[in-house]
Each structure stands twice: as structure tokens, then as C-alpha cells.
Amino acid sequence: MLKNYLKVAFRNLWRNKIFSSINIIGLATGICCFILIALYVTDELSYDRFNVNAENIYRVDADINFGGNALKLAVSSDPMGATLKKDYPQVQEYTRIYASEGSKLIKKGNEYIDEDKIAYADSTLFNVFTLPALEGDTKTALNEPNTIVISETAAKKYFGTIHATGKTLEVEMKPYKVTAVIKDIPHNSHFHFDFLLSMKNVAYGFGNFLSHNFHTYILLKPGTDYKVFEKNFDQVIEKYIFPQAKQFMQIASMDEFRSAGNKLEYHLMPLLDIHLHSARWPELDTNSNIQYVYIFSAVALFILLIACINFMNLSTARSASRAKEVGIRKVLGTERKNLIRQFLTESTVMAVISLFIAVMAAWLVLPLFNNISAKSLSLGSILNGPVMLLLIALPVFVGLVAGSYPAFFLSGFKPIVVLKGKINTGFKKSSLRSALVVFQFFTSIVLIIGTVVIYKQLNYIQTTNLGFNRDQVLIINAAGALNNENSDAFKNEVLKMPGIISGTISSYLPVASSRTDNTYSKDAVMDAKNALSMQTWVVDYDYIKTMGMQIVKGRNFSKDFGTDSSGIILNEAAVKVLGYVDPIGKKIYSSFQDGSNNPLSLKTYTIVGVVKDFHYESLRQNIYPLSLRLGHNSGNVSFKVSTKNLQELVKIVEAKWKIIAPGMPFSYRFMDEAFDNIYRAEGRIGKVAVIFSMLAILIACLGLFGLVTYMTEQRTKEIGVRKVLGASVPNLVVMLSKDFLKLVFIAAVIAFPVAWWAMRSWLQDFAYRISIEWWFFLLAATIALVIALATVCFKAIKAAMANPVQSLRTE
Amino acid sequence: MIKITELEKIYRTEEVETVALNKLSFEVRDGEFVAVMGPSGCGKSTLLNILGLLDDPDAGSFLFNGIEVAHFNERKRADLRKHNIGFVFQSFNLIDELTVFENVELPLIYTGVKSAERKKRVEAVLDKVQIMHRRNHYPQQLSGGQQQRVAVARAVVNNPKLILADEPTGNLDSSNGNEVMQMLTDLNEQGTTIIMVTHSEHDSRYSHRIIRMLDGQTVTENILV
């Protein structure tokens, strides 16, 4: 019997090819999107869970408001971890990562490769995190100076084998002994390093509670409530931090420090929250945002819901046209239960076909999706999860529900009534149908507005005036390779070449690079009220010119003024915090000096100029106070160039380099690329969002098409009568469209506030953001309207053009 | 009023070719009441559709008030139709979602009559077919006879010169049927030309002339008056 049902079901699908394909394609697209998003979201939620102790690992974060600067740090001071372990038995272990130095050059054969997945770490890293070794003993691997632990990938890259233990790797011209090879860190980790150097090699004034530069993780004993544990930080501050703070700042107590409007707080960030909830500075890798998980989950559910509703609508719509078939079957003696089974089999078969197509499609587009989203997802990862169960259950459920209307409704009628075509299918003017159409358009309009806002915001980030010019700036990474004279010689040699406009020597760049915060004061006395904490960048005379920054008051550093070594240029944000209307010539004082160990001696700087605020962090953050000081910092040599043939230029520059610094590694990057790196993750998410929005809209259109088809079929007779009575084609199209347009209008009215609210909260994360314009809404409503009109008109014109004789004969 | 000459209509499906009208010729003068009779499938309905400008012939000539309309396009046909022809169907073909008043009003809307004028004319015609008291009811709430009276009212509200009736009493009992036939006769006496397709010998006696058809051709013409 089942065989017969299946045979008839397939035959029916085949006979109504267009209807069946719309229905199957719609549902398949919906399920496919759902699979992809489910993979994406599952992956986002899986971060750091591979660590056996994941539930008990916490990062020590600091919130510092000091001297006009509000810092939300992901780093802590170097003695913090050890102090916590010593004083509090709840702390089972601690470990630190020091990643402030950025990328390093590693020698492979005769070439140098710029590796950025590199950091210094304590050997306890492997006690806290689950990073299994393929070779060597990680427990002790980093205890000695000049040791390095590398990943499987790094081992293969540099040694061609994973058996690299005992071999030597040259990092920044210095030999390190490989003491262990670990498995690659899983992609769903909040940090990714291929090279871990011994903490003993960090050149740093250890023991300083006031400088925050180390990512510090603690492993709490199971059962410890971290919220309760956080209260201990008050003791730590009093016992260890206050005595050090008192040395360089004239405060009598921490309360005095706080009452001046300052803040120093430590918090624990659960490891499992880092990837989705942490937007601090500096993160070890670009984190995602829980908002995107919410947005994508909502989009996935919406898409699936729309697809299912469409499937049911279309199946139901078609069943009405099969009323006659039901009547005949009943007259011929078919039992009701057989009819029910027949209809249920048909819709379930269709749903299951959709599932297969969806899985195939997901498998096919997954590489593309991975490419866009920069993930390495595989279908396998959801094969045994609850998502898989849902995937199988869902089509069956949809099939059963979609089939149940014709199954139970039509089969229950008296055959003679059905045969006479007198049944009212109860769907024609129902509020249910209206609600479904409103829901579809509501979803589409919200998604269109969301897409427009995301697109505009990302575009704004790419094109906004950053306060410096990032185009055509060539950065030569010269860290450690050149001494002062050599870097000057190199800069001057390159400047002689055509196509080079200017050059500057400084490692402080307004893209990801090394940073230092120094403390200044307005008066010659350093106390809690006077303090101004800001970044200090050491630059040369040509820096502002090369970076295309703008002096708004005073002047740039100049060789004509012999006193500029004690001059300082501030950004507008710093001037604002100081409260100076006319800052030029005013003095500020710094207690930190390069290389000095006497924190109480203050150095005086005179403000010579004010530079227009420029963005040196992500646009998600505000511009904080910053100062430029004249000096020699040979980290990078940057050139403003003016040429189309950049590759050719790089070759010539490299040739110069080889003359001045023979045997020294040459590596370079372009500033706009470095800048793009900051926003690449954001751009990817934007792209994914746009793609899914478009798919959702497509599915909604398919559904609308189905509904319009159904409605028009229902009104065939009416259309015929009206035509006979003299209605023109435009008359009829207006009549058929009017109802739908009303529904689109209602959907827009509901969608606008929802979209406004949702997008406003998304934009809230950006310190620099677009405003939501009224025309976004108009555009979305217009698009929805055009889609609705196009769909309705397509069917309506066809129906209206038909010969009325045909439609009256269907009676 | 109507003169058709050697009219042909052939229906083709993939395999079968059916000749519905085979070189049919006849004439209907102004003010005539003509009944068309014949067995099922003889081409009556096809003829009526062509006469009603709902369908076009494959060959032959069709003069309507002396104008050749056989090859009019859809728009021209519709224009001619809505000003000159009223239809009465066997199954009434009222629109379920509209009230009696609204159903009758439809042709006037499509010919662009102003609202106040429409009201006057609809009320007058509803009065004439004695259904005024049911003006706000929906078709399903009426008996078959009442529905057909509404359909007749709708057919004549525009004062057409020609009324085409397709078995107007086919779904009615004899007393309701007689009532409708009487209404058609009255209209005819007021000058409206009527062409009626029927199976009923009884109904055909109301007409002046009977055209009998078989296999798409006229077999005989009986003059009754």
C-alpha cells in the first residue's frame, strides 16, 4: 500500500513540475541556510571548549580610569598571577602570555619570514590550557631562557618534519632551542600561536604592579565562585598596588585616588566568554560578538520559519484545486483514512526531497561559505548534535503539518459537495493568510534595513576620514635589523629615488603596532587629580608629513628649533582633557622617562603643536589622549610614495636595503593593508549577513508568489465575471494588488520600529558610526513594495489576460 | 443587428481537432428574440461566446451593427461589449463576495458612470425585477430564482442593445423559470434584442424564431411569430 502511495505521490509531483519545484526549492533553500548558520553559530559557541579545564579558567582584566583615559584592558601586571597564586589557595595555577612586541622575523634557510603568530609564555601555559605535545615535555619546555615551543605547522614549515625537538630556530637573529612541538592550536581558540618563546627572554622591568602588559590567566579550583573571588582584588590593590602607586604619585590612600575621579578595578573574564563577550584591549586575536550570534540565530530561525510557512501555504493552496479529485475518489469508495495517508505521504515525500537537496547544497556551498566567513566548518561537526536531530525531525514535521490540511479538511467533506465545487476553502479572506503575508514582509523589511545599515556602517569605516592618509604608505619592518645610523642612511638613500615623497623613522603607527601609555601631569606635582595618562609615540621630524596628519594649532617639530627634544605635540583629545584653550607654550610634566629608574624626578615638556585627532584604534573605540615626542625609534621606516608600480618600487628599495644592511632580513607591508586587517572580520560578518538577508528575501518572494497564485486561482471565476462585465486588465490588476499592498504597508509600519531598535543597538558598539537615515526605511519599504507588486502583477496580469470563457467554464 | 457569414471555430488539442462551428451563417435583426437549440456539443455555447465578443472566430465574417468585429483585438471587443451586450448565465455567475446591489452596480463602474447616477439606475432596475428588498444580501442568501433575477438586473442595468442568455432557466424550477422568461419577453418588447441558448422547448416558444444546430451548422430555422 505504501508503495502505491509513494508511486502516486511521485507522479503528482512530476505532473505539477513548476509548483513542486517552487515548493521544494523554497524549503530546500531555507533548510540549507539553516544548516550553514547552525554550523556557524555552533562554531562560534564552541570557542575554547576544547580546554579540559575550560569552566575554571579566567583571564584577569583591568578597568582603569586615570588621567582622562578610560581603559578596558585584557591584560594585567606581570606579578599579578604569581601574587594571586601565592595569597589565595583557590588559585590552582596561573600563566601569562606576553604578546606586546608584535611580529618577529624568523630565519628559514637564507630568507627571513615575518611571523605574527608569536608570543612569550610561561611554561605553566600547558598546565592551564589543553595544548597537547607531539614531542618534548611541555611542563618544563619554557622554563629556561632561549627556548621555544612550536606548533606542528611551524615545525613542518621550518624543518619539514614534526620531529623538531632539540633543533635551533633563529628568531630576530637570536638562536632558540626547540623544546617541544605541540599540536596546532584549534581554530576555535581565542588565541593562535605557532611560536611560544620563553618568558625569560622578555626584556622588561619585572615586578611592576602599575604597568599592564601581560595576558594573565588563572585556573581556579573546581567549585570556586569567581564572582566571590573577585572581591579579593580589593586586598591585592591595598597590599601590593597602593605602595607602588604612592611612590610616583602623591596620594595618601586609594580612596583619595578614587575620589579624584579615577578607577582601578580587576575582574575575572571566564575563558568561555572571551570569544563572544570580550571587546577589550589588547585581544590576542580578533574576537567575535555575541550580537552576531543573536542576529544570525534570529535570521536562521526566520528563514526556516518563512520556508516552512511557504511550504504549508503552497501545499494547502494546491490541495484546494484537488478538491474534485478527492470527490471522485470518495465516490469511487476510497476510505477517508486512505486519503489522509495519501496526502500526508505526498507532502512528506516533498519535504524529505527538500532535506536531501538542502544537505547536498550545503555541502556544495560550504567551501564558498568558509571562504567568505573565514571559518573551516564541516558538515561533520553537526552530524551527531541536536541540530542533526532537528534537521531530520523538521522536514517530517513540516510535511505532516502541510499535508494535514488537505488530508483532514478535504477528505472530511461529503463527496457531492466537493464535486460541485461548492466548498469554501476557508482561506480566501482569512486573517491567518493576511497575518502570514504581513509576517513575511515584516521579516523582509527588517532584513533589508539591517543589511543597508550594516553595509553603510562598514562602508563608513572603510572610507571615513581617519585623520591620516593610509594610501600609498610603504612600511619597511626594520626592527632590530638596523642601528640608528644605518636607518638614517637607508631613509636618506630611499628618499633620493623617484616616486618617494617623504619618509619617517618610527615604529609607532596608527595601525596595529606597539604602544606605551605614560603618565603626565598638568602641574609640577604628580597627584591623583593632575594626572593625565596617554600614549606617547616617539617620532621624527617627517612623521606628521609622511602620515598625512594635520597640525591644527602651533607647529610640527622642526630642526630650526634646537629645543624640540623637550617639545611635545598633543592630539585634540589630550588638549580637551587638559582643558587648555590655547595650549601652545604650556608645560606638562612626565614622571616616566625612558631608562630612568627614579620615578620621582619629573621631566618638563613644552606643548609646541596640536595634531588633529586621528583614529589609531578600531572605530569601535573613541580617540583617547595621545602625545608625540621627538626622538629616534627605529622600529619601522615608512615612506609616502607616489607611483602606480608599487611592486617595482619595492624591488628597488630592497636593493638599497641589501647595500646598506647586507644579510639583514627585508620585510615590508602597505599601510592600507594593515588597516584593512583591523576590519576584515567585521567585513566578513557584514558579507555573510547580506547574503543571508538576500536569501531570506528570495524565499519570502517564493512564498508570496505561491500565495498570489493561490489567491488568483481562487478568484478565477470572479475575474471572468468581471471581465465579461467590462473590467479592463488594469482594473483587475489594481483589484488583485490592492489587498497585498495594504498588507505590505502594515508590515512596514510594524517593521520600522523593530529595525530601528535592532540596528541602533548594533551601532552602539561603534564609537564612530553612521546615523540611521529615514531613507533606509523608505528604501526597504520600496524594495518590499516593488517585489510584492512585481510578483502580484506577474500573476494578476496573466489571470486578467486570460479568456474569460475559460475561467467561467471552470465552474 | 447581427450578421454572421461562414463563421468557423476549430478547437485544437495536441492530438484532436474539434470543429465547433462549421461555416455557420445567419442574421438577427434589431428587436428580434431568437432561440438557439441543439444537442450537447453542437456548438451553441461557442456561438454565444463569439456573439458575446468573448471569443474570436477562426474564419468568416461577423458584422455587429454593420461593423466587422471578427478580428477586433481584446481591448476593442471589451469596449464594444460593455456598452452593448448584457449576459445571463445558467449558473448566474454572481460574485459571492459582493452584495446584490454591488453585483448589479459592477457594469456601471466599468463603463464609468458616476456614483449618484449608479445608485439611481441600480435601484430602478432592482425595483423592476422586484428584488429591491434584498439589495444588501449576498448571493448565497438568495434562492436560485432570486439569484437569476439579480443576474438579469445586472445584464440590463447598462441598457444594452443585445442580451445573450445561456440556458437562463437551466438551474430553476418551472415557476421561477417562467418568471425569468417573462422578464426577458418584457425586455424584448421594450426593444432589446435577445439571443437565448436553451434545451427547453417550452422556453423556446417565448422566442420569435428558433435556430436549430447540429455539428456546428444550422439545420433548420423555425419562424414562430
A278, A303, A300: which is closest to A289 by C-alpha?
A278
Q: Does A731 touch chain B (CB under 8 A)?
A: yes
Q: Does A721 touch chain B (CB under 8 A)?
A: yes
pLDDT tens track for A112-130:
888 889 999 999 999 999 9
State the ipTM, two decimals: 0.82
- Find which of B40, B54, B150 to mutate to test the A interface (most A CBs within 10 Å of its CB): B54
pLDDT at A85 over 90: yes
d(CA A311, CA A524): 76
d(CA A416, CA A330): 9
Looking at CA atoms only, how far is residue B19 from chain A in angstroms? 17
Chain B residues touching chain A at CB-CB below 8 Å: 49, 52, 54-55, 74-75, 78, 81-83, 87, 89, 91, 93-97, 106-107, 110-111, 154
Tell me which chain B residue has its CA closest to the CA of residue A716: B95
Q: What is the pTM of this model?
A: 0.75
Quote the strand ranges of A293-362, DSSP E. Answer: none
Please report which confidence band the pLDDT of residue A595 belongs to, taking 50, 70 and 90 as the band edges: very low
Tell me which chain B residue has its CA closest to the CA of residue A731: B110
Tell me which chain A residue has its CA closest to the CA of residue B89: A808
pLDDT at residue A184 in the model: 95
Tell me which chain B residue has its CA closest to the CA of residue A727: B110
d(CA A446, CA A528): 49
Before A282, cis peptide (omega within 30)? yes
The H or E element that residue A767 is part of is none
Is B54 in Cβ contact with A725 (below 8 Å)?
Answer: no
Mean pLDDT across chain A: 84
The H or E element that residue A179 is part of is strand A174-182
Looking at CA atoms only, how far is residue A809 from chain B in angstroms? 10
pLDDT at B209 over 60: yes
d(CA A346, CA A645): 64
d(CA B159, CA B86): 8
d(CA B203, CA B196): 9
Q: Looking at the partner chain, which of B93, B94, B95 has a beta carbon nearest the beta carbon of A808?
A: B93
pLDDT at A811 over 50: no
What average pLDDT does this structure show over B37-46? 86
Q: Does A722 touch chain B (CB under 8 A)?
A: yes
Tell me which chain A residue has its CA closest to the CA of residue B156: A725
Taking a C-beta distance cutoff of 8 angstroms, is the pair A164, A155 a contact? yes
Is A811 in Cβ contact with B110 (below 8 Å)?
Answer: no
Chain B contacts in chain A segment 787-806 (CB below 8 A): 801, 803-805
Is B95 in Cβ contact with A727 (below 8 Å)?
Answer: no
pLDDT at residue A415 in the model: 67
Out of A292-296, A684-688, A769-773, A780-784, least confident range: A684-688
The H or E element that residue A147 is part of is strand A147-151
Is B81 in Cβ contact with A724 (below 8 Å)?
Answer: yes
Is A727 in Cβ contact with B110 (below 8 Å)?
Answer: yes
Inter-chain Cβ pairs, chain A and chain B, closer than 8 A: 48
CA angle at B202 for the pair B200 and B203, rounded to the nearest 5° = 70
d(CA A764, CA A780): 22
Residues of B in Cβ contact (< 8 Å) with A728: 75, 78, 110
B185, B98, B198, B81: which is closest to B150 by C-alpha?
B98
Residues of B in Cβ contact (< 8 Å) with A801: 74
Place of cell 428588498: B133
Q: How far is CA A359 from the centre of its chain?
A: 26
Q: How far is CA A200 from the centre of its chain?
A: 35
pLDDT at residue A423 in the model: 52
The HSE-up count of residue A231 (CA atoms within 13 Å, CB side) is 4
pLDDT at A598 over 70: no
pLDDT tens track for A298-320:
888 888 888 888 887 777 777 76
Edge-to-edge order in the sheet of strand A473-477: A500-505, A636-641, A473-477, A668-670
pLDDT tens track for A124-170:
999 999 999 999 999 999 999 999 999 999 999 999 999 999 999 99
Please report which confidence band the pLDDT of residue A430 belongs to, taking 50, 70 and 90 as the band edges: low
pLDDT at residue B36 in the model: 93
List the helix and strand counts (H, then E) for chain B.
7, 10
Q: Does A728 touch chain B (CB under 8 A)?
A: yes
Tell me which chain A residue has its CA closest to the CA of residue B164: A724
pLDDT tens track for B118-175:
999 999 999 988 899 999 999 988 988 899 999 999 999 988 999 999 989 888 888 8
β-partners of residue A73 are A62, A281
pLDDT tens track for B86-108:
999 888 888 888 899 999 998 99
Is B95 in Cβ contact with A721 (below 8 Å)?
Answer: yes
Quote the strand ranges of A204-333, DSSP E. Answer: 212-220, 263-270
Is B49 in Cβ contact with A725 (below 8 Å)?
Answer: no
pLDDT tens track for A628-647:
999 887 778 899 998 778 88
Please report which confidence band the pLDDT of residue A810 belongs to, taking 50, 70 and 90 as the band edges: very low
What average pLDDT does this structure show over A51-65? 95
d(CA A697, CA A302): 11
Is B89 in Cβ contact with A725 (below 8 Å)?
Answer: no
- Find which of B45, B48, B98, B106 to mutate to test the A interface (most A CBs within 10 Å of its CB): B106
Estimate the crossing angle of helix A2-15 against helix A336-373, to 10 degrees. Answer: 60
Is B107 in Cβ contact with A808 (below 8 Å)?
Answer: no
Taking a C-beta distance cutoff of 8 angstroms, is the pair A670, A475 a contact? yes
Q: Does A429 touch chain B (CB under 8 A)?
A: yes
Share of chain B above pLDDT 90, in %: 47
Tell me which chain B residue has its CA closest to the CA of residue A424: B96
Tell me which chain B residue has its CA closest to the CA of residue A804: B54
d(CA A137, CA A182): 10
pLDDT tens track for A656-705:
888 888 777 788 888 888 777 767 777 787 788 778 878 887 887 787 77
Is A718 in Cβ contact with B95 (below 8 Å)?
Answer: yes
Is B97 in Cβ contact with A429 (below 8 Å)?
Answer: yes
Tell me which chain B residue has its CA closest to the CA of residue A732: B110
pLDDT at residue A472 in the model: 87
Taking a C-beta distance cutoff of 8 angstroms, is the pair A787, A701 a contact? yes
Which one has a higher pLDDT value, A484 or A767? Answer: A767
Tell me which chain B residue has its CA closest to the CA of residue A720: B93
A238, A366, A293: which is closest to A42 by C-alpha?
A293
The HSE-up count of residue A665 (CA atoms within 13 Å, CB side) is 24
Please report which confidence band the pLDDT of residue A253 belongs to, taking 50, 70 and 90 as the band edges: confident
Looking at CA atoms only, how far is residue A755 from chain B in angstroms? 37
d(CA A44, CA A39): 9
Tell me which chain B residue has its CA closest to the CA of residue A729: B75
Residues of A in Cβ contact (< 8 Å) with B75: 728
pLDDT at residue A427 in the model: 45
d(CA A591, CA A519): 7
Which one has a higher pLDDT value, A683 or A493? Answer: A493
d(CA B3, CA B64): 7
pLDDT tens track for A532-588:
878 889 899 999 999 999 999 999 999 888 778 889 999 998 998 888 889 999 999
Residue-wise DSSP of A72-137: EES-EETTHHHHHHHH-TTEEEEEEEE-TT--EEEEETTEEEEE-SEEEE-TTHHHHS---EEEE-
Quote the strand ranges of A644-764, DSSP E. Answer: 668-670
Looking at CA atoms only, how far is residue B57 from chain A in angstroms? 13
Q: Does A684 touch chain B (CB under 8 A)?
A: no
d(CA A206, CA A506): 26
pLDDT at residue A514 in the model: 58
Edge-to-edge order in the sheet of strand B33-37: B85-88, B162-166, B193-197, B33-37, B209-214, B217-223
CA angle at A788 for the pair A783 and A793, rounded to the nearest 5° = 125
Taking a C-beta distance cutoff of 8 angstroms, is the pair A121, A97 a contact? yes
pLDDT at residue A384 in the model: 66
Taking a C-beta distance cutoff of 8 angstroms, is the pair A57, A199 a contact? no
- Name the DSSP class of A297: H
- What are the cell numbers at A479? 626592527
Please report which confidence band the pLDDT of residue A8 belongs to, taking 50, 70 and 90 as the band edges: confident
Is B78 in Cβ contact with A728 (below 8 Å)?
Answer: yes
Q: Looking at the partner chain, which of A429, A725, A801 has a beta carbon nearest the beta carbon of B82?
A: A725
Residues 6 or more apart whose CB falls under 8 angstroms from that of A569 comprise: A544, A551, A554, A556, A557, A607, A608, A609, A610, A611, A627, A628, A629
Bridge pairing between strands A57-66 and A212-220: antiparallel
Q: Does A720 touch chain B (CB under 8 A)?
A: yes
Taking a C-beta distance cutoff of 8 angstroms, is the pair A807, A716 a contact? yes
Q: How many CB atoms lie within 10 A of CB A253?
A: 12
Count how many residues are written for chain B: 225
pLDDT at residue A300 in the model: 85
Place of cell 593625565: A532
Looking at CA atoms only, how far is residue A418 from chain B in angstroms? 17
What average pLDDT does this structure show over A485-490? 83
β-partners of residue A543 are none
Q: How many CB atoms lie within 10 A of CB B201?
A: 10
pLDDT tens track for A339-362:
888 888 888 888 889 999 999 999
Residues of B in Cβ contact (< 8 Å) with A429: 97
Residues of B in Cβ contact (< 8 Å) with A721: 93-95
Q: A570 — alpha (psi -120 to 50), left (phi > 0) or beta?
A: beta
pLDDT at residue A392 in the model: 80
Indicate the residue type of A685. I
Share of chain A above pLDDT 90, in %: 31
CA distances from A756 to A1, A447, A732 (A): 55, 11, 36
